A and B are shown apart, each in its own frame.
Chain A
């Protein structure tokens, strides 16, 4: 076991002057996570070797594919953005002891909300089209999380079931909408028409990255602040540690559940909206397939610490961004990256499982 240290943001126990956050389960937790990541890479290397390729060369190709040029870095950051945003929301829910695995559906619904607002936005207000569309996406994601919460609290359905099952409903709903009101006639694919250019997210020059990554990073910082410095975050942490204690402390658990679920839904919805406005510039069927589940991976990889989720999301984003060039250059199938992600998850869980 790692030495548990304070969950309270006290940097110097004796003086308590410095400002800074303390990780709940100590820095050694991160050592363990890094070890788990290293182990999974080793296993992946062995797999590559077994398949008859040079693991070193494969990893070099992977890394250069991810960060070899500004353009590739930009692509990797774009890839990272949805994981970071949705992962932060998932982490907040997990901190409160609510196992929300509905990010997948909330992202999809968020993308749909964003596309709908962008398409319907009056052209005389074009200046704020992107902002309005993103807010629409966040609201849509929150509504979807709210549906799960209402089912969970109202009918006492376990939150895992409520959130998980609504994912499938969400994906089918997006499909249906693309086949109907939001669909592009005669496109041959299930997709919306191209969104008006004033709603597109600005891109960072040279990098080809949209501003989504910046938004996501700011959101992660805000989540960390909320978790450690605000009364709401305190209530979340108490509830996650012990429900009876939270009741005893006078926190209304249903209200807390609503607030954190809506927050997570909004963040996931925003992730979907950014994907639509920043990357595809239209709503495409299956644009977010798997993102929500990867958000859970990322949240756990970041030990449910919003700031630590930034490197965790980057890890997954870079891996995936580099996987194609690894396949192109070395011939190792890009699906190997999925294996690495799975192994990492497995090792991280083994290294961090809470012993009660």
Chain B
């Protein structure tokens, strides 16, 4: 079979970060290539470069024997590349037919509806898409919407389809159907790039598997005969230093306990965290981490079950009551949840404590004490800002996060829920945040440290849980950590 796509030595940098560091990727006609990798491994960057959404700093892309360079998505589509995004680019209020014709010159200036509907029905039959041209897209389930995207690609005669984590939002039966459709496309000679971090699917569907880590290809192997454990190792990396030995400490009382808690996105969770312990929650983003953090801290309702904080039932307690009971929270969304960017450092430092001293006197803001307290916290937590009145939006990411750390830890909480607490921070600020969290643990608090950065979780936690599909796929103490096992847990339900 001739090569359909050759990508050679693709390099793409974002500042000092080499998101793609010399990547080669080949796809033949009638071949499905699985692209594996953790978040941030460079998969999306590579695909954006291919599709013309990003330019590459060096490297060569040859598609059907013609070099693509300096191209835009429009050119990529014209050349025969189709990208099916995780979030569909469909108009819900329009029908399948209308969505297919939308933005497609071949649909004609005067729309030829009947002819198009015919072509849709034909393609639908041939590939088993089961789509009715007159159905309203908004009424379709997710799996069908995805098929509309695939249909668009087929009708536009794309030779190469890129599917970005196509199964992440699908039900198991829908996944099976999707795989069937993709196989029939392969049989027609289409090339497919299948991006996923779910090993079982990749092994089942793909011909070739390419594994990325830190912007480099760490593995390239035929799917047949490849072992899951080896792929998981390639994804997660084994050449990283082992976690520090845990300090011998007697665990304290149980400070946070969940019993059969059910919430949207969380089928059922039970676990405990003791004082003086950090429970690290690893896992690929979007597996229920946000739901877990928000449900614990009161931003999301738990449908049933019990949440105990120092033995007190807080399952139904509103946010403010939980804060008062000793629940601290560092949300992943720093820019619009954890902080108000257009307000001052001092106001952000009092954001969750504006109902108590020293910030208020009755219904009035206590201005001088408030500013004095802000100065004190800025000093203690090394928040570099022109003054307490400086706008938060003007500060660096590290200093912004220090505000959150200062506010949440100054209350001397019983329990801290930290979600992506070091995300996007430079090494110094990361160190600072981790040190403060560890200091809080040593002071006897229970910490739930949720992060998709496995290294961070391994470095800081006493216990490590891996979250998949809203459940803990596994829970091990730091002494028993086996990276291969963790990689497997992260990549799917299979153990």
- A interface list, Cβ under 8 A from B: 4-10, 13-14, 16, 22, 24, 229-232, 234-235, 237-238, 241-242, 244-245, 247-252
Q: What does the 1/0 interface line of B332-365 toward A look like (CB < 8 Å)?
A: 0100111111111011000110110000100111
A248-B338 in contact given A6-B390, A16-B388, A231-B354 (Cβ < 8 Å): yes
B329 within 8 A of partner (CB): yes
A10-B364 in contact given A238-B351, A250-B318 (Cβ < 8 Å): no
A4 near B394 with CB under 8 A, answer yes
B66 within 8 A of partner (CB): no
- B interface list, Cβ under 8 A from A: 299, 318-320, 323, 329, 331, 333, 336-344, 346-347, 351-352, 354-355, 360, 363-365, 367-368, 371, 386-391, 393-394
Q: What residues on B are CB-neighbors of A230 within 8 Å?
A: 363-365
- Excluding A7-B344, A237-B343, 14 further A-B contacts by CB distance (< 8 Å) are A5-B391, A7-B342, A7-B347, A8-B347, A16-B367, A16-B371, A16-B388, A231-B354, A231-B365, A232-B363, A238-B351, A242-B340, A242-B341, A248-B351
Main secondary structure of the interface of A (DSSP, over half): loop
Contact of A4 among B331, B336, B388, B393 (CB under 8 A): B393
Q: How far is the CB of B309 from chain A (nearest CB, A)?
A: 15
Q: What residues on B are CB-neighbors of A245 within 8 Å?
A: 336-340, 351
A10-B337 in contact given A231-B355, A248-B352 (Cβ < 8 Å): no
Q: What residues on B are CB-neighbors of A234 within 8 Å?
A: 347, 354, 365
Contact of B340 among A16, A238, A250 (CB under 8 A): A238
A231 near B352 with CB under 8 A, answer no
A9-B337 in contact given A22-B389, A235-B354 (Cβ < 8 Å): no
A231-B391 in contact given A247-B319, A248-B352, A252-B318 (Cβ < 8 Å): no
A250 to B337, alpha carbons, bound, how many Å? 11
Q: What residues on A are CB-neighbors of B388 within 8 Å?
A: 8, 10, 13, 16
Give A239's nearest chain B residue, CB to CB.
Answer: B340
Listed A/B pairs (22) with beta-carbon separation below 8 Å: A4-B342, A7-B391, A9-B367, A10-B346, A10-B367, A10-B371, A10-B389, A13-B386, A13-B389, A16-B367, A229-B365, A231-B354, A231-B360, A234-B365, A241-B340, A245-B336, A245-B338, A249-B319, A250-B318, A250-B352, A250-B355, A251-B320
Q: What residues on B are CB-neighbors of A16 within 8 Å?
A: 367-368, 371, 388-389
A4 near B391 with CB under 8 A, answer yes
Q: How many A-B residue pairs have CB under 8 A?
A: 106
Q: How far is the CB of A200 from chain B (nearest CB, A)?
A: 35
A46 to B366, alpha carbons, bound, how many Å? 52
A252 to B319, alpha carbons, bound, how many Å? 9
Q: How far is the CB of B419 from chain A (nearest CB, A)?
A: 12
Q: What residues on A are CB-neighbors of B329 within 8 Å?
A: 248
A231-B346 in contact given A238-B340, A248-B329, A249-B354 (Cβ < 8 Å): no
A28 to B299, alpha carbons, bound, how many Å? 38
A10 near B344 with CB under 8 A, answer yes
A6 to B365, alpha carbons, bound, how many Å? 16
Q: How far is the CB of A239 from chain B (nearest CB, A)?
A: 10
Q: What residues on A are CB-neighbors of B343 within 8 Å?
A: 6-8, 237-238, 241
A229 near B367 with CB under 8 A, answer yes
A13 near B352 with CB under 8 A, answer no
A252 to B363, alpha carbons, bound, how many Å? 16
Q: What residues on B are CB-neighbors of A237 within 8 Å?
A: 340, 343
Give B371's nearest chain A residue, CB to CB.
Answer: A16
A249 near B352 with CB under 8 A, answer yes
Give B335's nearest chain A residue, CB to CB.
Answer: A242
A36 to B474, alpha carbons, bound, how many Å? 62
A248 to B318, alpha carbons, bound, how many Å? 10
A229 near B347 with CB under 8 A, answer no
B319 near A13 with CB under 8 A, answer no
B344 near A8 with CB under 8 A, answer yes
Q: What residues on A are CB-neighbors of B331 within 8 Å?
A: 248
Q: How far is the CB of A124 from chain B (nearest CB, A)?
A: 37
A124 to B353, alpha carbons, bound, how many Å? 50
Q: How far is the CB of A234 from chain B (nearest CB, A)?
A: 6
Q: What residues on A are CB-neighbors of B363 within 8 Å?
A: 230-232
Q: What residues on A are CB-neighbors of B320 within 8 Å?
A: 250-251
Give A248's nearest chain B residue, CB to CB.
Answer: B337
A14 to B299, alpha carbons, bound, how many Å? 37
A254 to B390, alpha carbons, bound, how many Å? 30
Q: What residues on B are CB-neighbors of A13 within 8 Å?
A: 386-390
Q: How far is the CB of A97 from chain B (nearest CB, A)?
A: 12
A7 to B391, alpha carbons, bound, how many Å? 8
Q: What residues on A are CB-neighbors of B389 within 8 Å?
A: 5-6, 8, 10, 13, 16, 22
A244 to B383, alpha carbons, bound, how many Å? 24
A6 near B318 with CB under 8 A, answer no
A332 to B340, alpha carbons, bound, how many Å? 49
Give A246's nearest chain B residue, CB to CB.
Answer: B340
A8 to B391, alpha carbons, bound, how many Å? 9
B333 near A244 with CB under 8 A, answer yes
Q: What residues on A are CB-neighbors of B319 within 8 Å?
A: 247-250
Q: What residues on B are CB-neighbors of A235 within 8 Å?
A: 354
Q: How far is the CB of A92 from chain B (nearest CB, A)?
A: 15
Q: How far is the CB of A255 from chain B (nearest CB, A)?
A: 11
Give B350's nearest chain A residue, CB to CB.
Answer: A234
Q: What residues on A are CB-neighbors of B365 within 8 Å?
A: 229-231, 234
Q: What residues on A are CB-neighbors of B386 within 8 Å?
A: 13
Give B365's nearest chain A residue, CB to CB.
Answer: A229
Give A354's nearest chain B residue, CB to CB.
Answer: B342
A242-B337 in contact given A4-B394, A10-B346 (Cβ < 8 Å): yes
